[in-house]
Chain A
């Protein structure tokens, strides 16, 4: 029983990161039908931004670590959103204006991801960064079950972000505009909706969440390296597809599902088989429902 609860907690934490990243994929896909393959690397950039913001604040003032954390969260989200919007401006918008096929935009996104990775490598070098401890670690233990305060924060952050995004997309005017663009990109501007602003807002939301995920990830796994976003980004993308890409509930569920499967496989089978089994299970889900769990074939997304 203890092992089960412990593994549930492990899976909730690990799934939270997949869910947070998958939400960014799904938002951009929902609005633009663009798979933003650079998203995993925006997550990596978010972790590095958090690192620099946190070390800068720690060095500059005589703040308590929790105050630094309180300042790092919004700053990281804003700066990472800036990176996402910059990518949109210099890479995706010109292509969109020229009416390029979706395929070319996806390839561009892949290239942007590689540029971010290798730019980081060239700029900061290959040596790893150690993220400073901003939170006094508290370990709560019941019997054989242990959980840190950070783990609880991560899980609640993922749920809060999901609720916030669900609210924005379904209950607000800009959310309505986002859904409108996803429904018909050509008719919406005729209704007087500023399509570019809405798309920029989408990137702000998606990249801001990636920044938050990067910060939380850096706090949980405090060793940063330029390629840390690549593998987790791909896996989160797969999670978003299994959940039904373009659907916010799908991304959230898909992220946690992948976390649960990965941890579950290790808990039961030899750990060597983790990815093999985890992705076979996901393959089977897509086999039964190719549009993903919440996905609907070729209609309104988001």
Chain B
């Protein structure tokens, strides 16, 4: 008797599991699942926060209309936000989790090249389209047909910084301080050195110093840099380190200018850096002050919703997500089979030739990299990032 009860209980359990699974599947088929591989903790939490804010705004927009219209049918979106802790290995794990557990059709992120380069490999191997909003290192998309991005590349950004600094500071000697354990920072520093030395002759980069990600004291490097008497210091570093580097350089008596890169452009830079960063220049993806059209509309809505000016990461995440949505629509019809849908999205992404984003219009080359303009902004006395110059390829 007992056995019968146990057996029937087991059968019941198995059945309820099966029903739950079928029910779960049939429910989930209704939604387009997109994953976000972003740094919500770790070295650059503000970057993850900005990405998530922009994504939430987009999600609310689309779902308020009943979903994304694909082939005449409206399908609601579902976004998964996973924290990669600003670490390379966690970014890979997050990518695998999104692909295998959540069954997403595409991944937005990671943002920083340090995470985007390894995670791009994972997505490519697992045949899942990935669009990095902010990564500028060429290796992220190189020979990876499944990986795309919304940002310009360091081989483009490097010369922009060199040309602008040469013109603005009348510089013939430069110093560089970069993060040796960050693909982005290291790659950009090397490109900058090459381009600057080609332009101003060998040895014109008078100091080329590095530091580690967790370092807080840069006085030894800065002493060396200041002593080599450069015309300006190029700092392709994340905003949190920039705040320390600029301050310590001032403490050591450096009164000259700095030139930064797009990793400076976080909404948190001025909170951490304060007066020391005012008057400095950096190259970036867009300038919020004085924007027009769709960009202005995005900025106003973001400010109304979150109470701060969206930084470049927020704008690029918006563009990256819209690229994916565009590809889903371009594919014609939504395929409930995740693998087929991923393939369809990849094909559609690779055939997008031109896209009008809020960070400027972009054309895609054969590597999946956009060709778009860069801007140089100046940090004014109120801490706003003001447009100084636009450079187009």
Residues on A lying within 8 angstroms of B by beta carbon are 2-3, 6-7, 10-11, 13-14, 121, 125-128, 130, 137, 139, 141, 144, 146, 148, 151, 217, 221-223, 225, 227-228, 230-232, 262-263, 266-267, 270-272, 274-275
Give Cα distance in the complex from A267 to B228, angstroms: 12
Please tell me if the beta carbons of A7 and B220 are within 8 angstroms of each other in the complex. Answer: yes
Please tell me if the beta carbons of B217 and A3 are within 8 angstroms of each other in the complex. Answer: no
Please tell me if the beta carbons of B45 and A126 are within 8 angstroms of each other in the complex. Answer: yes
Give Cα distance in the complex from A2 to B49, angstroms: 44
Provide the residues of chain B in CB contact with A126, threshold 8 Å.
Answer: 40-42, 45
B219 at the interface (CB under 8 A from A): yes
Give Cα distance in the complex from A6 to B227, angstroms: 10
Q: Which of B219-251 contact A (CB under 8 A)?
A: 219-221, 223-224, 226-227, 240, 243-244, 247, 250-251
Provide the residues of chain A in CB contact with B49, threshold 8 Å.
Answer: 127
Q: Which of B243-300 contact A (CB under 8 A)?
A: 243-244, 247, 250-253, 268, 271-272, 274
Please tell me if the beta carbons of A3 and B240 are within 8 angstroms of each other in the complex. Answer: no
Please tell me if the beta carbons of B252 and A6 are within 8 angstroms of each other in the complex. Answer: yes
| One of B214, B220, B272 near A130 (C-beta < 8 A) | B272
Chain A proximity of B347: nearest CB distance (Å): 37
A-B contact pairs, 28 of them (CB 8 A): A2-B227, A6-B223, A6-B227, A10-B219, A13-B217, A13-B219, A14-B217, A126-B42, A127-B49, A128-B268, A128-B272, A130-B274, A144-B226, A144-B253, A146-B251, A146-B252, A221-B217, A222-B244, A223-B216, A223-B244, A225-B240, A227-B214, A266-B220, A266-B224, A267-B224, A271-B180, A274-B211, A274-B212
B46 at the interface (CB under 8 A from A): yes
* Total B residues in contact with A, Cβ cutoff 8 Å: 35
Chain B proximity of A224: nearest CB distance (Å): 10
Give Cα distance in the complex from A274 to B215, angstroms: 11
B209 at the interface (CB under 8 A from A): yes
Report if A272-B251 is in contact (Cβ < 8 Å); known contacts: A126-B45, A221-B217, A267-B223: no
Please tell me if the beta carbons of B271 and A10 are within 8 angstroms of each other in the complex. Answer: no
Q: Is the interface of B mostly helix, strand, loop or mixed?
A: helix
**Which of B220, B224, B251 is packed against the most chain A CB atoms within 10 Å?**
B220
**Which of B46, B217, B274 is packed against the most chain A CB atoms within 10 Å?**
B217
Provide the residues of chain A in CB contact with B272, threshold 8 Å.
Answer: 128, 130, 222-223
Q: Which of B1-55 contact A (CB under 8 A)?
A: 40-43, 45-46, 49
Please tell me if the beta carbons of B227 and A144 are within 8 angstroms of each other in the complex. Answer: yes
Give Cα distance in the complex from A80 to B194, angstroms: 49
Give Cα distance in the complex from A121 to B43, angstroms: 12
Provide the residues of chain A in CB contact with B253, threshold 8 Å.
Answer: 139, 141, 144, 146
Provide the residues of chain A in CB contact with B247, threshold 8 Å.
Answer: 222
B210 at the interface (CB under 8 A from A): yes
Q: Which 3 A-B pairs have the closest CB atoms?
A: A146-B253, A126-B45, A266-B220
Please tell me if the beta carbons of A270 and B210 are within 8 angstroms of each other in the complex. Answer: yes
Provide the residues of chain B in CB contact with A121, threshold 8 Å.
Answer: 41
Please tell me if the beta carbons of A7 and B223 are within 8 angstroms of each other in the complex. Answer: yes
Report if A263-B220 is in contact (Cβ < 8 Å); known contacts: A130-B274, A275-B212: yes
- Residue in chain B with minimal CB distance to A143: B253
Provide the residues of chain A in CB contact with B224, threshold 8 Å.
Answer: 3, 266-267, 271
Provide the residues of chain B in CB contact with A137, threshold 8 Å.
Answer: 251
Please tell me if the beta carbons of A271 and B251 are within 8 angstroms of each other in the complex. Answer: no
Provide the residues of chain A in CB contact with B209, threshold 8 Å.
Answer: 266, 270-271
- Residue in chain A with minimal CB distance to B247: A222
Please tell me if the beta carbons of A271 and B210 are within 8 angstroms of each other in the complex. Answer: yes
Provide the residues of chain B in CB contact with A146, threshold 8 Å.
Answer: 251-253
- Residue in chain A with minimal CB distance to B271: A130
Provide the residues of chain A in CB contact with B46, threshold 8 Å.
Answer: 127-128
**Chain B 174-187 interface mask (CB, 8 Å, partner A; 1/0):** 00000010000000
Chain B proximity of A143: nearest CB distance (Å): 10
| One of B214, B216, B268 near A127 (C-beta < 8 A) | B268
Provide the residues of chain B in CB contact with A274, threshold 8 Å.
Answer: 211-212
**Chain B 63-92 interface mask (CB, 8 Å, partner A; 1/0):** 000000000000000000000000000000
Provide the residues of chain B in CB contact with A128, threshold 8 Å.
Answer: 45-46, 240, 268, 272
Give Cα distance in the complex from A225 to B209, angstroms: 24
Provide the residues of chain B in CB contact with A141, threshold 8 Å.
Answer: 253
Provide the residues of chain B in CB contact with A228, threshold 8 Å.
Answer: 216
Provide the residues of chain B in CB contact with A222, threshold 8 Å.
Answer: 243-244, 247, 272
Provide the residues of chain A in CB contact with B268, threshold 8 Å.
Answer: 127-128
- Residue in chain A with minimal CB distance to B248: A221
Chain A proximity of B269: nearest CB distance (Å): 11
- Residue in chain A with minimal CB distance to B270: A130
Give Cα distance in the complex from A2 to B219, angstroms: 14
- Residue in chain B with minimal CB distance to A148: B251
Give Cα distance in the complex from A151 to B223, angstroms: 15
Provide the residues of chain A in CB contact with B45, threshold 8 Å.
Answer: 125-128
Give Cα distance in the complex from A266 to B221, angstroms: 6
Please tell me if the beta carbons of B251 and A139 are within 8 angstroms of each other in the complex. Answer: yes
- Residue in chain A with minimal CB distance to B275: A133
Chain B proximity of A120: nearest CB distance (Å): 11
| One of A3, A127, A217 near B223 (C-beta < 8 A) | A3
